[in-house]
Amino acid sequence: MNLQVAKWGNSLALRIPADYVRHIGIHEGDQVQVNLTADGGINIRAAKWDRTTFALELEKTRDSMPMTESVMEELRRGARY
Protein backbone atom coordinates (compact mmCIF):
# COMPACT_ATOMS: atom_id res chain seq x y z
CA MET A 1 0.00 0.00 0.00
CA ASN A 2 1.29 3.47 -0.85
CA LEU A 3 0.53 6.29 1.59
CA GLN A 4 0.84 10.02 1.00
CA VAL A 5 3.03 12.10 3.31
CA ALA A 6 1.25 15.24 4.57
CA LYS A 7 2.42 18.28 6.53
CA TRP A 8 1.24 18.48 10.15
CA GLY A 9 2.56 21.62 11.86
CA ASN A 10 6.34 21.53 11.50
CA SER A 11 6.32 17.75 11.07
CA LEU A 12 5.31 15.26 8.42
CA ALA A 13 2.57 12.70 8.98
CA LEU A 14 1.16 9.50 7.50
CA ARG A 15 -2.47 8.50 7.78
CA ILE A 16 -2.84 4.87 8.76
CA PRO A 17 -5.81 3.22 7.04
CA ALA A 18 -8.67 2.21 9.36
CA ASP A 19 -8.33 -1.50 8.44
CA TYR A 20 -4.69 -1.48 9.60
CA VAL A 21 -5.59 0.40 12.79
CA ARG A 22 -8.26 -2.16 13.67
CA HIS A 23 -5.95 -5.05 12.84
CA ILE A 24 -3.12 -3.93 15.14
CA GLY A 25 -5.51 -2.66 17.84
CA ILE A 26 -4.33 0.91 18.30
CA HIS A 27 -6.52 3.88 19.17
CA GLU A 28 -6.18 7.65 19.04
CA GLY A 29 -3.69 8.76 21.69
CA ASP A 30 -1.87 5.40 21.86
CA GLN A 31 1.88 5.37 21.48
CA VAL A 32 3.68 3.45 18.76
CA GLN A 33 7.29 2.35 18.54
CA VAL A 34 9.15 3.37 15.37
CA ASN A 35 12.44 1.88 14.20
CA LEU A 36 14.56 2.50 11.14
CA THR A 37 15.53 -0.66 9.29
CA ALA A 38 18.97 -1.30 7.78
CA ASP A 39 17.64 -0.69 4.27
CA GLY A 40 16.17 2.73 5.17
CA GLY A 41 12.63 1.53 5.84
CA ILE A 42 10.41 2.43 8.77
CA ASN A 43 8.94 -0.21 11.07
CA ILE A 44 5.93 0.95 13.12
CA ARG A 45 4.36 -1.21 15.84
CA ALA A 46 2.06 -0.68 18.79
CA ALA A 47 4.08 0.18 21.90
CA LYS A 48 3.07 -2.13 24.71
CA TRP A 49 3.72 -0.87 28.22
CA ASP A 50 6.28 -3.06 29.95
CA ARG A 51 6.71 -2.66 33.71
CA THR A 52 10.32 -3.94 33.68
CA THR A 53 11.42 -1.63 30.87
CA PHE A 54 9.68 1.31 32.56
CA ALA A 55 11.43 0.53 35.87
CA LEU A 56 14.82 0.37 34.14
CA GLU A 57 14.23 3.69 32.35
CA LEU A 58 13.09 5.26 35.63
CA GLU A 59 16.20 3.99 37.44
CA LYS A 60 18.48 5.29 34.68
CA THR A 61 16.78 8.69 34.80
CA ARG A 62 16.99 8.83 38.58
CA ASP A 63 20.70 7.90 38.50
CA SER A 64 21.40 10.70 36.02
CA MET A 65 19.95 13.33 38.38
CA PRO A 66 22.47 14.76 40.84
CA MET A 67 21.54 14.43 44.50
CA THR A 68 21.33 17.98 45.80
CA GLU A 69 19.91 19.83 48.74
CA SER A 70 16.17 19.82 49.12
CA VAL A 71 14.43 22.56 47.17
CA MET A 72 12.14 23.23 50.14
CA GLU A 73 15.12 23.79 52.46
CA GLU A 74 16.60 26.22 49.97
CA LEU A 75 13.29 28.11 49.73
CA ARG A 76 12.88 28.22 53.50
CA ARG A 77 16.35 29.75 53.93
CA GLY A 78 15.53 32.49 51.46
CA ALA A 79 12.00 33.08 52.73
CA ARG A 80 11.13 36.13 54.73
CA TYR A 81 8.63 35.33 57.45
Q: Is the dihedral of CA 14, 20, 24, 26 positive or negative?
A: positive
Task: With beta carbons less than 8 A apart as the criterion, state whether 32 and 46 touch.
Answer: yes
Inter-CA distances, 51 with 10, 54, 59, Å: 33, 5, 12
- CA–CA separation, 21 and 28 (whole Å): 10
Q: What integer pLDDT is reported at residue 65 of this predicted model?
A: 79
Query: Mind listing the pLDDT tens digit for each residue in 7-60?
Result: 999 999 999 999 999 988 888 988 898 999 999 999 988 887 778 888 888 898
What is 5-78's CATH topology? Pemi-like Protein 1; Chain: D (2.10.260)
How close are the terminal C-alpha atoms of the chain, in Å? 68
- CA–CA separation, 44 and 56 (whole Å): 23
* pLDDT beyond 70 at 80: no
Supply the pTM of this predicted model: 0.49
